[in-house]
Amino acid sequence: MKPRLDRYIIEKKGGWKTIPKRWRLISEEGQPLNYKMRIEVKEKPQLWNIGNRNWGSFFGNQKPNEDKYRMIYYQSGVKLELLSFSDDLNEYICKNICGFFNSNTFGARQSKGYGFFYPDPESPAFIDHPFYQDPGSKFSFQIDKFPADGSTEGKLQRVLYFVDLFYRSLRSGINQPGKSFKPDETASKGLEYPVYFKGPGFYCKPALFEYLKSQDPPIQWDKRTIKEIFLNKKYVQRSSTSKERSDYNLPEMILVEGLPKQIERHKSDILEHFPKFNDSKGQENDMKDKILWRDLFGLSTHQEWVSYGATLTKTHTPDSRQTRQNRSESKEFKIERFQSPLRFFPFFTGEKDDVCTVFFEAKTIPVMYSQAKFNVKLDFKTKQNLEETEKDKRVEQNKDNNDGGRIFHMGNIDLNEFIAWVIDRKVNLVVNMVSDGNRSGVYYSDLKMIYEGLRKNINF
């Protein structure tokens, strides 16, 4: 923690050259500042196994009851002591400690509400400089409905569930398919394998989709672009999983709908067709350039497209200039991970911690990432992609399956401006994001509650 706080103080002060000599432990740049830090735990923390899947925004591949990750909560907090013989350094740290904690979280999933600390609200450091006045608290929403038992575990799960729900509603949308598979007997006639689709569930388009569509001219959603390239056929063949065969009595091989069939069946703006693809500058380019938008919220190098039995991969393809400028010894410069620039900070208030305000902001995306290119590829596990031909209505093998991928450019928008656009529309946006048949139930009511409570804070 001390190296992080050192860097924060140096940056806040204006760089190493502005740091007084009495603040420096050693005169050389990059060395520690001259103060001591001591962390004392007041009591034994509460521990909960995250493998039970009740904790929002954690790893999707966590196995049930796996104890690899645990939630740790200090009910009475921890004691942090900072001591320097320079009174003005002590004063400067005290003045900026709230801003530091507003900009830094710790541990796994630290951009999703985990690993957040803040000074005691009754301490002088908080009273004089409350962290929510820091630029890192641009936006917020409030949660005041918690489990009746009032348990700490229930409260924390509830907060992280709302953070997860809101985050997904911004970035990728929410798709909770029905629990049962249904055969399409009419579509299956004359085909080698039966056509199946999941029963109705809850579907919510992402707010980012609505934002891009609202531009003049509209900007196409990257998922639609990927489907146009890799799934532009009526049906896709895949093997069913052992669980699907056991639970739903599915045959070993099934067909699922590709993009043309989805457009035909839905007939809605969920899959609205854009004749031309538009880049971030609104220039038509006839699909020569393809743009990633969801990955502005964090790079997802592997995605399981379960419905198609396929894996979507994204591999950074640096240009020669980037490679030359960023080469470390003989290792080629590669972007293999990019943490979400959107960060959430839950803050409990009220006499019994019965209200939680979730502050959030989006950090600036580095140019190195916003101008990056990625090879996007959809690998089919069955290695047999089939389409229904116009000539004889048979299903034939697609020989272009599992090709070398396509180059996509990273999109470039100001995420804070996007969030401000969302807040201006609030619940009206939720109505647009959710189709008529889904405007009921828990997900919809919870989304409405979040969006109704969205706020721009005075420092934005």
Q: Write out pLDDT tens, residues 118-139.
A: 778 788 877 777 766 665 568 9
State which H helix or E strand residue 429 sits in: helix 415-433
Q: Which residues of 256-279 are buried (b: 16+ CB within 10 A; e: fewer)?
A: bbbbbbbbeeeeeebbeebeebbb
Q: Give CA–CA dist 315/235, Å, rounded.
A: 27
Q: What is the pLDDT of residue 137?
A: 67
Is residue 142 helix, strand or coil?
A: strand
Q: Give CA–CA dist 454/452, Å, rounded.
A: 6
Q: Give CA–CA dist 164/16, Å, rounded.
A: 38
Q: Give CA–CA dist 153/325, Å, rounded.
A: 48
State which H helix or E strand residue 247 sits in: helix 242-248
Q: Are 191 and 430 in contact (CB under 8 A)?
A: no
Q: Which whole-number Å values give the CA distances from 399 to 33, 260, 334, 407, in the listed order?
A: 62, 19, 31, 20
Question: Which residues contact residue 416 at a Cβ distance below 8 angstroms, ignoring those fewer than 6 apart?
Answer: 138, 361, 362, 460
**Nearest residue to 384 (alpha-carbon basis) of 167, 192, 161:** 192
- Both tokens of 81, joined, read 């002591």
Below-70 pLDDT ranges, the chain: 51-68, 108-111, 131-137, 179, 199-200, 266-289, 320-332, 350-352, 381-403, 458-460
Looking at residue 251, its amino acid is: P
Is residue 239 helix, strand or coil?
A: strand
- Which residues on adjacent β-strands are paired with residue 195? 255
**Nearest residue to 408 (alpha-carbon basis) of 369, 368, 372, 365:** 372
pTM of the model: 0.80
Q: Give CA–CA dist 333/22, Å, rounded.
A: 39
**Nearest residue to 1 (alpha-carbon basis) of 97, 90, 106:** 106
Pairing label, strands 406-410, 290-292: parallel
Q: What is the pLDDT of residue 286?
A: 47
Q: What is the pLDDT of residue 120?
A: 80
Q: Give CA–CA dist 220/207, Å, rounded.
A: 13
The strand order across the sheet containing 302-305 reads 290-292, 406-410, 373-380, 310-316, 302-305
- Both tokens of 246, joined, read 């056991």
